[in-house]
Amino acid sequence: MKKDYLKEFPRELEDEAIYIIREAAAQFDRPAILFSGGKDSITLVRLAQKAFYPGKVPFPLVHIDTGHNFPETITFRDKLVAATGLELIIGLVQDDIDAKRVAEETGKFASRNILQTTTLLRTIESLKLDACLGGARRDEEKARAKERVFSVRDDFGQWDAKNQRPELFDYLNGRIRPGENVRVFPISNWTELDVWNYIREEKLEIPSIYYSHERPVIERNGVLWPYSDFIYKDADEVVQTKTVRFRTVGDMSCTAALASTASTLEEIIEEVIGTSVSERGSRLDDQRSEAAMEARKAVGYF
């Protein structure tokens, strides 16, 4: 009995998200959905389809591509684009590396996570986007818990955490000056469990890496790293094959795998209900310091 109730999606959250997405469409000239191929952005696409039915979703998808994606995610992305007929715009981190606007990190824990911000801001500017819809949730991280649903970024893409507009009742104030833009977070109030319940109730397709599979991994400080060309391996580190799945979809270089045999949505939901580790506990990018997320957001990160 107890667990079944936790497996019910609170419908009120869908009504709220659709309201926010419609406000974004109404208040901005050039909005876009930031699409990573992860479960949260897949949920956003579904909500946007519902918000404008039977009309078309009036936004393109923008993918900031680090080049270090799981190949399964890219396959999934292209399939979703073909099925929905949405426009896909890709911003390549490699272009910024080639142009020497950013430099690759080196060493054992090198990742392109930080580099994405430059590509994201350049893409926003070149497309003249005034709003970017993202799938960030407040339960993910303590700095995100403080962010508004309509989060204003200045001309340099920066987030001023101490000077945010108050958001009262359902009112969303998206008035901005030229050059500024707004990040819009329709599923701010959803938790990881809400997203999974929604995916199950809506029968959404998700990339295969969310389900249990066999994969070569390196065990490092008790954490399982997916082995790929993008990861540095010490001579004494051993690649072994394990049965794993992923809780979040980030880069192959900063997303840890979870030893799991959950191969259906039902089993994943059981696992999420029973877990004692948070979702972003598997993201190396968040573990760098206590304020890693706030520091990245301040300069323009998602």
Partner 1 sequence: MDVFRIATAGSVDDGKSTLIGRLLYETNSITTDKLEAIERASQRKGIGFLDLSLLTDGLVAEREQGITIDVAHIYFNTPKRKFIIADSPGHVEYTRNMITGASRAQTSVILVDARKGIIEQTHRHYFIANLLRIPYVIVCVNKMDLVDYAEAAFAKIKSDFLKLSARLPNTQQQIVVIPVSSLHGDNLTARSAKMPWYNGDPLLTLLELLPVPAARGAFRMPVQLAIRPRNESHHDYRGYAGRIASGKITVGDAITVLPSGRSSRVTAIYKNDQQQPVAYDRESVTLTIADDIDISRGDMLVRNAELPGLKSEHKAFICWMDSQALDPGKSYLIQHGTQRVKAKVTHVNFIQDTATLQQVVPAAALKMNEIAQVNFKTAKPLPADAYCDNPANGTFILIDEFTNNTVAVGFFE
| Binding site residues, partner 1, CB under 8 A | 1-3, 5-6, 8-10, 12-16, 18-19, 22-23, 25-26, 49-56, 138-139, 141-146, 161-162, 164-171, 173, 175-177, 188-189, 191, 193-194, 275-278, 281, 290-291, 294
| Cβ proximity to partner 1, 56 vs 101, nearer residue | 56
Nearest distance, CB of residue 143 and partner 1, angstroms: 5
Would you give the end-to-end CA distance of the chain in angstroms?
A: 38
151, 110, 187, 128: which is closest to 298 by C-alpha?
Answer: 151
Nearer to partner 1, 16 or 65 (CB): 16
- The nearer residue to partner 1, 219 or 237, going by C-beta atoms, is 219
d(C-alpha 98, C-alpha 261), whole Å: 40
CB 293 within 8 A of CB 161: no
Q: Which residues contact 265 (CB under 8 A, 6 or more apart)?
A: 196, 199, 200
Whichever of 63 and 283 has its CB closer to partner 1, that residue is 283
How are strands ordered across the β-sheet holding 31-34?
Answer: 88-92, 61-65, 31-34, 131-133, 181-184, 150-153
- Provide the minimum distance between the beta carbon of 215 and partner 1 in the complex, in angstroms, as a whole number: 22
DSSP three-state, residue 169:
coil
Shortest Cβ 40–partner 1 spacing (Å): 15
Which residues share a beta bridge with 143? none
Q: Report the nearest approach of partner 1 to the CB of residue 70 (Å).
A: 23
Least distance in angstroms from the C-beta of 8 to partner 1: 4
How far, in whole angstroms, is CA 137 from its chain's centroid?
9
Of residues 198 and 210, the one with the C-beta less far from partner 1: 198
